[in-house]
Structure 1
Amino acid sequence: MKISELKQSLRGLEAINFRLPDGTYLPAHFHVTEVGLVSKHFIDCGGVERRETVANFQLWEAGDYDHRLAPQKFLHILTLSEKILGHEDLDIEVEYQQQTIGKFGLSFDGQDFVLTQKQTACLAQEACGIPNAQFALPQLQVAACTPGGGCC
């Protein structure tokens, strides 16, 4: 989901609900504790230099059970964050504390915001000898990380 899509979705809501990939909902008293710009500059295993930039939202819950974030307040937070994010229509990444900090994508199903699972992937499949990436993730890990495979 992009920032523009989030803003559009918020405009039609009376309440904000976030749902985890397993179907459970975040408690209604969650907070948006941070809105930030996260830039990643890296080299993949094939030696290609890459850059990624996302808008990052951190969701958190505390013992203040009367707290409720209204859609209009979230829109106001987004407006304030423009001095950090700029006006680029960035993809959104969401952080939420579970056993460790989880990173999620974000979608909207017409009623609820859904935290979507993110996956790792080999960005240099050709250099690693992985044909067309038609394997499931566990198979990719086995295929990509064999001794002498050239990737690890």
Structure 2
Amino acid sequence: MNLQELKACLQKCPELGLAIALPDGRRVPAHCHVTEVGHVTKKFVDCGGAFRASEACVLQTYVGSSVDDGHRLTAGKLAHILGFADSFLPTGELPVEVEYEDELVSQYRVEGAGLVGDVLTLQLGLKHTDCLAKEKCGIDEGCGCSNEPESAEAGSGACC
């Protein structure tokens, strides 16, 4: 989901509560809040020597104590927070990611938003690593490679 799509969803129903669903079905605690809206630019070289860049709008969440729970995030509050970033976010086409700390700090893609009961729910998806220069590295996608650690340990055709 890109920033423009997210803002449109939030602005349609500003009074609704907001939930964030993790890829495994759990939810970020309802008393979380968004502490940062970032424009993250990553410039890098892949393993084949090609220079690349990627950009995203990253929403950092923070889960504090649930004791002072009077500030639950609504769709309207998140839209307001995103408005603060209008001056430096270059385009509404940026993909949106959510940074959340459970046991580890992780970033998830926002895959979509929809109503679940009377709550607007942001559905998060996993991010994955990939080789961006498969041809130069000699990696054949059809070779039966597996990214599963147990496959590599068992010698079951892992390419690398």
TM-score interval (norm. to shorter): 0.7 to 0.9
Asked if the contact 2:4/2:92 (under 8 Å) is kept, the reply is no
Structure 1 pair 114–136 and aligned structure 2 pair: CA distance change class (3 A): farther
Give the aligned partner of residue 127 of structure 1.
136
Please provide the CA RMSD for this pair: 2.0
The 1:109/1:73 distance shift into structure 2, 3 A limit, reads closer
Q: In the aligned structure 2, how far is the partner of 1:116 from the partner of 1:36? A: 19
Counterpart of 1:114, as a letter, is: Q
Give ranges in structure 1 of 5+ residues lacking alignment: 146-152
**Which is further off, 77-86 or 130-139?**
130-139
8 Å Cα contact 1:60-1:97 kept in structure 2: yes
TM-score by length of 2: 0.81
- Larger mean CA deviation between 53-62 and 85-94 belongs to 85-94
1 CA distance for matches of 2:145 and 2:114? 32
Which 5+ residue runs of structure 2 have no aligned equivalent?
A: 116-120, 153-157
Q: Residue 47 of structure 1: SS of its match in structure 2?
A: coil
Q: CA deviation at 1:79?
A: 1.2
- Cα distance between partner residues in 2 of 1:79 and 1:2: 15
Letter in 1 for 2:12: G
CA shift for structure 1 position 87: 3.3
Aligned residues: 144
Letter in 2 for 1:82: D
Structure 1 residue 88 displacement after superposition: 4.0
CA shift, 1:84, in A, is 2.0
User: 1:115 corresponds to which residue?
Assistant: 124
Give the match for residue 93 of structure 1.
Answer: 97
Q: Is the 8 A contact 2:9 2:113 kept in 1?
A: no
Which letter does structure 2 place at the counterpart of 1:69? L
More helix by share: 1
Deviations 1:95-139 (A, max 9, x none): 100111101101225221111111000000111111136744336
